[in-house]
Each structure stands twice: as C-alpha cells, then as structure tokens.
Amino acid sequence: MRLIISGGGTGGHIYPALAIIEDLMQQEPNSEVLYVGSKRGLEGDIVPKQHIPFISLEIQGFQRSMSFAGIKSNLQTVRLFLKSVREAKRIIKDFKPDLVIGTGGYVSGAVVYAAAKLKVPSMIHEQNSVVGLTNKFLSRYVDKIAIGFPEAKEQFPEAKVSFTGNPRAQQVANIHSDFSWTEYGLVDTKPTILIFGGSQGAPKINSAVVDAMPEFNQRDYQVVFVTGKNRYTDIMKRLATIDLNDNIAVLPYISNMPAVLPKVDVIVGRSGATSIAEITALGIAGVFIPSPYVTADHQTKNTMSLVNAGAGIMIKEDELNGNSLLKVVDDLMTNDTKRKQMATNSKQLGVPDASDRVLSLGRSIKK
C-alpha cells in the first residue's frame, strides 16, 4: 500500500498515526508511507525520529476572539489553508497514494480535503468522544470515518462511521515489558499507583499530591508521582520537609511509559483519548481528572464513558485537593476486589485490534 497520513499539533493526533504506520509495515512490509504534518506541531520533531518520510505544511488554527487582531489572524488562517490545500494536491499527485488518512489537527484538514477533491480514497480517525472542528469539516468529504468512542457516532454522517477504537491501544497492548519497579527504588510485590499529569505536569494535580503526601508516605501501597519535567524542582522544594519513605518515588518524567504501565495497578491523571486508549488496552483502574481547558470539555465526556462502564472514577478539577484525592485513592488501593473489578471493566472497553480495524476500513474504500 501507498499511504499518506496526516495528523498534527499534539501527541493525541500523532501517536495514533504512528500506530497505524507501524501496523501497516508489519502487515505489508513493502508499503510506502509519507507523513504530512505542520511546521509548528510536535510531529516535526517526533515523526522523523521514527525514520518515516516527512513533509511539513505551514498552517494555523482559528482564533475565537473577534478583536481586530483575531480577525486578522483568521484571515491569515484561511490564506494558509488554501495554500496548504494547493501544496497537498501537488504532494498527492507526486506520491500517488492508495489511501489518505487524517488523524486530526488543522494540517490534516488541508491534506484530507485535497485528497477528497482529487478523488483519492480518504478517511479520518476521531479519537475523542466530542468531534473536533477539523473532523467535522472533513466528514462531508471523506469516504469513511473511524471513531475511538461510540459516543462520537451521532456527530457524523451515520453511513460513513465505523467504531474502530484508538490505534494506540493495539500498539501498547502488543508491547512486551520486562520493566521492574526496582529501577525506581521500589518493589514489584506491592500494589502501585501512578500519578501523572502529562509530560508538562498539571499544577492542580501536583498540588493535591503534595498536600496528600504526608498520608501517602504512611501507606502500605506504593506511590509513583510524576511531576512533569519543568515542575520537578519546585515540587521537590515543596516536599523538602517530608522524609519520604521507601514506598514513594517522585520523578520528573517517565520516558518509557508504555513499558511501565503494565506494572501499574491504578493510574491517576488526565483523560485525553490516547491516555484512555492505553489504559483500557491494558486494563488498568483509573482515577480521572479531566482538564477543564480543552475544547468542548471533551475530556469530561471521555471520562464519563469509563465512569458509566465502572472502569474509572472522576474527580473534577475544581473539587480536587489533597483530601479528595486521598479518599478516592485509599478506597481503591486498599480494596483489592473493587480495584480488580474496575480493571476488568477497563479491559472490556479496550480494542486490542484497533489499528487492524482502521486499516481494514481504509482498504474497503472503493473508487
């Protein structure tokens, strides 16, 4: 297969795309793949390191502000989009793909729209339960739509939609891990909770953990607290008055997170689509603190799909503090039956063949 794939801006769009590419190359090693991303997004750093051919387009998002500066920026957004569509058409004509897939972000809007106009088989993947602006726009033009949450179905043209799950799930589920907690001075024989607010850390989550740390320090279970690289020094200063026991590990970042996750009994963190895909693929009980700063509050809606299935617990950020966090964590970490049932429910939501489903859907498009 000759595949063009486009997804940009955040890891939530990039990692599902990489998972699809990895699965395709395993299925059809002679395939040729081209990744088209944006100049400003993380993909420009991440994708080339995977030795995947990469082309970038200059594109930007819309501003919600109706100020003069906002209007001026939006006019520039339109100009860059039209320019990117022209460039994408040229790229598509040169590469001659069998299929074009968009996994989200403004750059995928230009690339997939160009493919549709050229009558090249095209599809999109929507990771979240609330459909993004780009995928809403593209849904009118693409041949197929893959979704990661069943709740997204009603937001698209019904005839085009198939539930596939998030491709990242299959990638994580297939990882063989020989990781040991001894790498962080812990043991492998105790229940372990991982608290992680994302690569940059989440200030409200970090503050709640600091407040709860004197109590965590006295528990029989283990606590792995990942602060975020830029917040580690400040957090360690705040914890300086506490003599941390050997059941606590405070880390700035975990670079091999997929290898670590199979050793986690409960995870506390945000509820982005990629995180949920990883958690459900492995069957981990989760305590979710949705970010209130995302479009259409989609993390809350992502979380509710797990809460309703008995696969997670939600703490709203404005209700988060040391006491509320400690109460929920203690309830799970000291109740093996409840924790294991939640893990089982989580596993039942996972889609271990998500990448296969996406590729099969793409192959089914006939022009």
Q: What is the pLDDT of residues 212-269, one digit of tens each?
A: 999 999 999 999 999 998 899 999 999 999 999 999 999 999 988 889 999 999 999 9
The average pLDDT across 16-43 equals 94
Distance CA 364, CA 367 (A): 10
The reply, when asked if residue 199 is annotated as ligand binding, is yes
Q: What is the pLDDT of residues 171-208, one digit of tens each?
A: 888 888 899 999 999 999 999 999 998 767 789 999 99
Structure confidence at residue 336 (pLDDT): 95
Q: What is the pLDDT of residues 307-365, one digit of tens each?
A: 999 999 999 999 999 999 999 999 999 999 999 999 999 999 999 899 999 999 999 99
Strand partners, 269: 196, 288
- In the chain, pLDDT over 70 holds for what percent of residues? 96
- Tokens (6 digits) for 330: 């203690």
Strand partners, 268: 195, 287
Domain limits of the chain? 2-166+352-363, 181-349
The reply, when asked if residue 10 is annotated as ligand binding, is yes
Distance CA 311, CA 284 (A): 8
Other Cβ atoms closer than 10 A to 158: 8
The reply, when asked if residue 12 is annotated as ligand binding, is yes
Structure confidence at residue 174 (pLDDT): 86
Structure confidence at residue 72 (pLDDT): 67
CA 83 to chain centre: 29
Structure confidence at residue 156 (pLDDT): 97
The reply, when asked if residue 11 is annotated as ligand binding, is yes
pTM for this model (two decimals): 0.88
- Which CATH superfamily groups domain 181-349? Glycogen Phosphorylase B; (3.40.50.2000)
The reply, when asked if residue 254 is annotated as ligand binding, is yes
Tell which CATH classification among 3.40.50.10300, 3.40.50.2000, 2.60.40.10, 3.10.580.10 matches the domain 2-166+352-363: 3.40.50.2000
Cβ–Cβ < 8 Å for 305, 44: no
Structure confidence at residue 334 (pLDDT): 95
pLDDT band for position 68 (cuts 50, 70, 90): low
